[in-house]
Chains A and B, each alone.
Chain A
Amino acid sequence: MTGKINLSLILSSGTLALFVVLALFAPLAAPYSPTEVLTNPYATPSVDHWLGADTLGRDLLSRSIYGLRYTLGISLFVTVVACAIGVTLAILAAVRRGWIDVLIGRTVDAIMAIPQIIFALIVLAVAGVSLKTLVGTMIVLETTLFFRILRASAGDIAVMDFIEVARLRGETLRWYIFREILPNLAPTLIAEFGLRFAFASLFISALSFLGVGIQPPDADLGGLVRENALAISAGKVAPLFPAIAIAMIAVSTNGIVDFLIRKYSVRGELQA
């Protein structure tokens, strides 16, 4: 049993690490230029072009490696920013309560009452499709999700007697956040970060696939799927490769999260 978990953990972290390295060193890792037409459109995989060619005859492996940059970069940026905002708001709401808690809570509820993809489509339609809007919208959506779960956990911690002990001692807000609440929130936070990262990478891919994400000539993995979608009806598998890469990112992340959740629930860290 434990052996199996560790195997899946090793595979997951290995895949993710490989993708991150590829994305970081894309110019070195990619065998060809991502924009140069090198061979026939939809050339099948070969020794020279491991994943074959795309709709114009560009090397699909090179394009995918550059696509990884977008997908991972945007997902990571969005998740980090949303996590920082979400944690701050959640702890603030849990410690201060009162009107500020109600205000944030209601706003989040209202945003969450709209399906996420519909919300994104509205904003993108109104503000126009651009990288800034895209990232901004995703940060808003991810922040609401972070807030929802962390507010609940922080709320559980904030009603513990040790918080009251800190209050009786006259501690500052800084002390509450960094010494009392955050250390106890950490396991939830780490697991949630993973889940949100997986969600972000699937979400940006879906938007690009729909044509409202990253705009050509640049392409993230979802955009690559869209570019090559027509090949599907011709029986080609080219668009499947970037799609599989997206799935691998999400599966690996979820695999790591799954391991963390199991580990923490076994150790019973937060069961007070």
Chain B
Amino acid sequence: MAHPLLSFAMRRGGSGLVSLLLVSLLVFVGTALLPGDAAQSILGQNATPETLAALRQQLGLNEPLPVRYWNWLVGLAQGDMGTSFSSGRAVADLLWPRLRASMTLALAAAVIALPLAISLGILSALKRDSFLDRAISFLSMWLVSIPAFLTGYILINIFAIRLGWFPSLSISHGSASFMDWINALVLPVTTLVFVTIAHTMRLTRTAVLSVMASDYILMAEIKGLSPRRVTLTHALPNALSPILSISMLTVAYLMVGVVVIETVFNYAGLGKLMVDAVSYRDLPLVQGCAVVFSLVFVSLNFAADFLSVLVNPRLREPKE
């Protein structure tokens, strides 16, 4: 029999791939069903039937739908995502710098949000029903209820407009000095942290509480181990699996959270690119953005599940 880890990775990876295929199918078929086609969009309303036909031939639009889907998938696998209607540039060329910018934002937020949220979540669980715990859960109820743009605008109003500490709009990192660039990141990153931290705290708290309620924790206490040892060596290792998984999901949320926040701060990332593409109905660009977002999201979800299995002996070690 295959090792449980391997068979898990195959199974879970397989279902991830199915999700991705589904996204691509949704994106592709949805686009293909629309009246008009790429040739029409590129050439505009005034194109002659001859030039249209020629371009259709050239773009392979006369092929049957499954063949076109297959060609599109093959192109996708090779990094070819078609041509943007609005700018006429290759989608892939437009995407990559934007993806880098968004990942910078998300990862910077993760570096701050994860340690903060996880330690607050653990603390809140260990000091259950204390003033601290209640304060944290009250705060997190507010944080999940406040729309990201409100947080963003409040921060801008205070720190950019009134105090003038940070710029309210982001600048692309090519044109400015390193310090300016970092400064411009502060407010969007802070907003992202606010948006995700509550969720992560709650999940961590629940995970730790469920471990603390186990019989083996009671057993460790009965054995006479110190509270410190019970927490550090008996509870936390078992909470590691859910916490790792929560962390990965948080990064996934952060990646998606950029969509609104990039609009608030006018930040040139993937989210803003996609929102603009939707407004212009630049479908190849929307397709490209959707595929990249889904790829990141599905991979992070896979990583979450895989890591949580990796640190859990019950799932990792074969039963005899």
Query: Taking the complex as formed, is A160 at the interface, i.e. its CB lies under 8 A from any CB of chain B?
Result: no
A113 engages B19 (CB within 8 Å): yes
A211 engages B275 (CB within 8 Å): yes
Residues on A with C-beta less than 8 A from B146 are 247, 250-251
Residues on B with C-beta less than 8 A from A117 are 256, 259-260
Query: Taking the complex as formed, is A244 at the interface, i.e. its CB lies under 8 A from any CB of chain B?
Result: yes
Residues on B with C-beta less than 8 A from A110 are 18-19, 22
Stretch from B37-45, B68-76, B154-162, B223-231 at the A interface? B154-162
B156 engages A232 (CB within 8 Å): yes
A43 CA / B164 CA spacing, docked (Å): 23
A243 CA / B150 CA spacing, docked (Å): 6
Total residues of chain A contacting the partner, CB 8 A: 44
Query: Taking the complex as formed, is A209 at the interface, i.e. its CB lies under 8 A from any CB of chain B?
Result: yes
Residues on A with C-beta less than 8 A from B260 are 117, 206, 209-210
Contact of B161 among A233, A243, A251 (CB under 8 A): A233
Residues on B with C-beta less than 8 A from A190 are none
How far is the CB of A224 from the nearest CB of chain B, in Å? 11
A229 CA / B264 CA spacing, docked (Å): 8
A95 CA / B147 CA spacing, docked (Å): 38
Query: Taking the complex as formed, is A202 at the interface, i.e. its CB lies under 8 A from any CB of chain B?
Result: yes
Closest to B140 in A: A254
Contact of B278 among A109, A212, A240 (CB under 8 A): A212
Closest to A251 in B: B145
Query: Taking the complex as formed, is B30 at the interface, i.e. its CB lies under 8 A from any CB of chain A?
Result: yes
Query: Taking the complex as formed, is B81 at the interface, i.e. its CB lies under 8 A from any CB of chain A?
Result: no
Stretch from B3-11, B113-121, B211-219, B289-297 at the A interface? B289-297
B:9-35 near A, CB below 8 Å: 15-16, 18-20, 22-23, 26-27, 30-31, 33-34
How far is the CB of A52 from the nearest CB of chain B, in Å? 14
A113 engages B157 (CB within 8 Å): no
B168 engages A232 (CB within 8 Å): yes
Query: Taking the complex as formed, is A121 at the interface, i.e. its CB lies under 8 A from any CB of chain B?
Result: yes
B150 engages A247 (CB within 8 Å): yes
A239 CA / B278 CA spacing, docked (Å): 24
B290 engages A209 (CB within 8 Å): no
Residues on B with C-beta less than 8 A from A127 are 30
B:224-281 near A, CB below 8 Å: 252, 255-256, 259-260, 263, 274-275, 277-279, 281
Residues on A with C-beta less than 8 A from B168 are 232-233
Contact of B141 among A113, A121, A251 (CB under 8 A): A251
A239 CA / B161 CA spacing, docked (Å): 15
How far is the CB of A137 from the nearest CB of chain B, in Å? 12
B150 engages A121 (CB within 8 Å): no
Q: Say whether chain A's binding surface is mostly helix, strand, loop, or mixed.
A: helix
Contact of B30 among A126, A229, A233 (CB under 8 A): A126
B281 engages A128 (CB within 8 Å): yes
How far is the CB of B3 from the nearest CB of chain A, in Å? 25
A246 engages B275 (CB within 8 Å): no
Given contacts A115-B293, A246-B147, contact A232 B274 (CB under 8 A): no
Given contacts A235-B162, A247-B147, contact A126 B34 (CB under 8 A): yes
A:117-140 near B, CB below 8 Å: 117-118, 121-129
B294 engages A113 (CB within 8 Å): yes
A240 engages B26 (CB within 8 Å): no
A143 CA / B22 CA spacing, docked (Å): 18
B301 engages A125 (CB within 8 Å): no
Given contacts A232-B156, A237-B157, A243-B150, contact A114 B23 (CB under 8 A): yes
Query: Taking the complex as formed, is A51 at the interface, i.e. its CB lies under 8 A from any CB of chain B?
Result: no
How far is the CB of B58 from the nearest CB of chain A, in Å? 24
Query: Taking the complex as formed, is B178 at the interface, i.e. its CB lies under 8 A from any CB of chain A?
Result: no
Closest to A233 in B: B168
Query: Taking the complex as formed, is A9 at the interface, i.e. its CB lies under 8 A from any CB of chain B?
Result: no
A-B contact pairs, 10 of them (CB 8 A): A110-B19, A114-B297, A115-B252, A117-B260, A118-B259, A206-B260, A232-B156, A247-B145, A247-B146, A258-B141
- CB-based closest 8 A-B pairs: A113-B19, A250-B145, A243-B150, A126-B30, A251-B145, A115-B256, A125-B286, A125-B278
